[in-house]
Structure 1
Amino acid sequence: MKKRAYIFILFIGILLIPQLSFSQVDFNKTPDDDLGNVKDEYQEYFFEALKQKGIENYERAIDALNKCLTIDESKPVIYFELGKNYNHLKNFKSAEDALKKAISMQPDNEWFLDELYDVYYKQDDIESAISTLKRLVKYHPDYKQDLATLYIKQEKFDDALQLLDELDNALGVEEVREEMRNNIYSLSGNISGQVDKLKAEIFANPQNENAHLQLIYLYGKSGQAKQASEAAKTLQKLKPDSKFVHLALYKFYLQENNLEEAISSMKLVLNASEIEEREKSKVLKDFVAFVEKNPEYQKELIEATDNFNTEKDAESLSNLGTYYLKIGDKEKALQNYKEALNQNPNDFKLLRDVILLQIELKQYKEALQKSEEALELYPAQPILYLLNGVSNINLSNAQKAIDSLEMGLDFLIENPKMERDFYLQLSEAYKRTNNNKKSSAFAKKAQAIKAQ
């Protein structure tokens, strides 16, 4: 569900509108309905309500808003604020009543309707939520997508599909809607009916790319690989500039062992700005797997990934890093892992892999800094203490290495191989402090594990 934050700048602005000059003010005149001209007491209660809601003290906010109503009950924003606070308290009946009052005063206010929709959604009152969404769809396409989701819950699959088609026609194909559509096909189980419907749409409009793409998917889902391949090739003939059709074509080309065409399709997808990064990630993963089995096409993979027209997402970069690591290009592997980490800075696996490669490439200062950053996020991960210790040893910080390694051992549980690595590094660290006795003791501990 798409919820929009309500911005109070408008209301605060209204409250704070300055008067042009004191000479123009009639102090004997009764204030009008402008929020900026009401009594100070009213404004104080209103701001108090905003403050209390901001610190999640919803009951006090409601008290302040009710005091506003005793002064002036003509302002819909007060009922709206009451509705929001009651909604936070899960007092849905009171929230509904307050919001309905606000809407009766301003029937076309999107924010009032959106909050009422949220009240119904939280109660799983699908009928009321749908009724509210039907009033909201004119404001933003996301409401249509929400409405389609509720139709799916009600098993009104045709209504949901119609909305998804309208959104695709207006905004272009989008992965979330494709997943929703595919979910509908799975839930309805009426694959043949959907195939017939799509064929009729294509017959009526052969240039309907979205209908072709859905038909390809349905054939594939129902195990009709030959029909899916034929449908994809038909779309390519009708719309030779289509990029989306290659999301299916490359797979068929691989199955047919038509490798040159498969590579051409994968390259096209990877460099198509209109195709989402998540889809590109799947294609890149297949491309990497293909080149691992067919290393003679490594040049094509590198060429395709180097010429990405759009920014690679973290998954694509991680897949590339793994590929380059497998073929021994550690510099390129590190470059891709670091770029992926920039997008997902809290990803533990990426952090670990970056530090490991930095150590292997003797980038000890960078490895030390990154391991310290990682330990702030994951203070109970022994591998990070080990990597931190190794970095410190190679930077001649033997005592810091010892401190880190001994702390890491406290977190180590049933991992003999890593335990041996800790002992070996501790032996080296103590050796550098000229404590040969402890160095020898840890060396023997490591040897004992090796002998087991």
Structure 2
Amino acid sequence: MYYNPINKIILITLFFITISCANISFAQEIQNPEDIAAVNDAFENNFYDALTQKALENHDKAVVSLQKCLETVTTNPAIYNELGKNYLALKKYAEAQNAFQKAVDLNPKERWYWNGLYDVFYETKDYNNAITTVLRLIDFNPNFQDDLVSLYMYTQQKDKALALLKKMEQTTNLSEKMEFYKLQLEKTPEVNKPKKQDLEESIKKNPLVEQNYIDLIYQYAASNNEEKAFEIAKLLAENIPTSDWAHVSLAKFYLNNNDGTNAVNSVFKVLESLKIDIKIKHRVFNEFLLFAATHETFMEPLKKASIILEQD
């Protein structure tokens, strides 16, 4: 194969600039001056051939030449970076990951080595490792925050995605894609629902806001913390005696605990309410029906409850 000597000089010069920036010296590994000259010459030829083969998309041949480079120089991260690029092009992802990781280990301050590692994780849809890597890339370039938002979306970490978007918009204009994500997330109930701790603080500050109790009760119930949900329902009934919603939860808890007397009171409160949806009333009635089927003393209250429901 014919090599253009001018192109070779340009490529090798650029490579040795890279080596200089990385503080890599071939002489550190080989002490004899004559050996250094011979090794440098062989190294230059192999590395130039690797760059040429990569440009021609002969990535397997480029890998062979780079491996020859590693036979004489084993601590140059630029070689591992080039090796990673060729393995990635060949879709040999495990080999590419190992090569880029070696480059990163040798010089963690070089952004492009992290970028190669990120490319492997992204292409293989290893989004969790991609997140870890892109967090490092953000230190080099804040624009990678867009990638992080997308990765959070891919991994269903929507709360983190929204929090990051809100942080980003304080310092920059969001891209069209990020605006779309933000709009989508703000319409997602599970992302925007307040946290338990926030709801508890809100109840302490303003105990007359019924919705805070309701949200907190449902969150505790959803996490199977029935005892805590029961505690909040009782607190709602105590602080807001006119609340019918407190009795939706109380009826269920009393029935589960075989407290029929208190359950009847809450069931009637629910069925007589003008605020509670008919579907919820039917659910509460059905729960009472199952309870009464095994507690005959509550058949009369059940008949009365049935009449109230029919009249609704």
Q: TM-score, normalised by structure 2?
A: 0.50
Does the 8 Å contact 1:141/1:167 carry over to 2? no
Does the 8 Å contact 1:133/1:147 carry over to 2? yes
> What's the CA shift string for 1:162-191, capped at 9, x where partnerless?
2222222122343232112123235x3448
Does the 8 Å contact 2:39/2:72 carry over to 1? no
Aligned partners of 1:146 and 1:191: how far apart in 2? 20
Matching residue of 2:193? 193
Give the structure with higher Rg (CA). Answer: 2
Aligned partners of 2:74 and 2:164: how far apart in 1? 39
User: Is 1:29 the equivalent of 2:33?
Assistant: yes
Aligned partners of 1:47 and 1:82: how far apart in 2? 13
Matching residue of 2:96? 95
Does the 8 Å contact 1:58/1:89 carry over to 2? yes
Give the counterpart letter for 1:54 in structure 2. Answer: A
Q: Report deviation, 1:13.
A: 5.3
Deviating 4+ runs (over 2 angstroms): 8-17, 27-32, 172-176, 183-186, 188-194
> Does the residue aligned with 2:33 lie in a helix, a strand or coil?
coil
Matching residue of 1:14? 17
Aligned partners of 1:84 and 1:120: how far apart in 2? 13
> What's the CA shift string for 1:354-401, capped at 9, x where partnerless?
xxxxxxxxxxxxxxxxxxxxxxxxxxxxxxxxxxxxxxxxxxxxxxxx
Q: How does 1:66-81 map to 2 (within 5 A)?
A: 66-81=67-82
User: Is 1:165 the equivalent of 2:166?
Assistant: yes
Aligned partners of 2:137 and 2:155: how far apart in 1? 19
Kindly tell me: are residues 16 and 142 of structure 1, through their superposed partners in 2, closer, same or farther at Cα, counting changes over 3 Å?
closer
Q: Report deviation, 1:28.
A: 6.0
Give the counterpart letter for 2:129 in structure 1. Answer: S
Kindly tell me: are residues 87 and 173 of structure 1, through their superposed partners in 2, closer, same or farther at Cα, counting changes over 3 Å?
closer
Greater relative contact order (CA < 8 Å, ≥ 6 in sequence): 2
Give the counterpart letter for 1:11 in structure 2. Answer: L
Matching residue of 2:136? 135
Matching residue of 1:179? 180
Aligned partners of 1:189 and 1:10: how far apart in 2? 58
Does the 8 Å contact 1:145/1:163 carry over to 2? no
Aligned partners of 1:102 and 1:192: how far apart in 2? 41
Question: What percentage of aligned pairs have identical amino acids?
Answer: 33
Give the counterpart letter for 1:29 in structure 2. Answer: P
Does the 8 Å contact 1:82/1:95 carry over to 2? yes
Aligned partners of 1:136 and 1:15: how far apart in 2? 20
Kindly tell me: are residues 191 and 52 of structure 1, through their superposed partners in 2, closer, same or farther at Cα, counting changes over 3 Å?
closer
Aligned partners of 1:156 and 1:10: how far apart in 2? 46
Q: Report deviation, 1:155.
A: 1.5
Kindly tell me: are residues 52 and 142 of structure 1, through their superposed partners in 2, closer, same or farther at Cα, counting changes over 3 Å?
same
Structure 1: runs of 5+ lacking an equivalent = 1-7, 18-26, 195-452
CA RMSD of aligned residues (A): 2.9
Q: Report deviation, 1:101.
A: 0.8
Aligned partners of 2:167 and 2:87: how far apart in 1? 35
Q: Report deviation, 1:106.
A: 0.4
Q: TM-score, normalised by structure 1?
A: 0.35
Aligned partners of 1:139 and 1:150: how far apart in 2? 18
Matching residue of 2:109? 108
Give the counterpart letter for 2:157 in structure 1. Answer: K
Kindly tell me: are residues 31 and 132 of structure 1, through their superposed partners in 2, closer, same or farther at Cα, counting changes over 3 Å?
farther
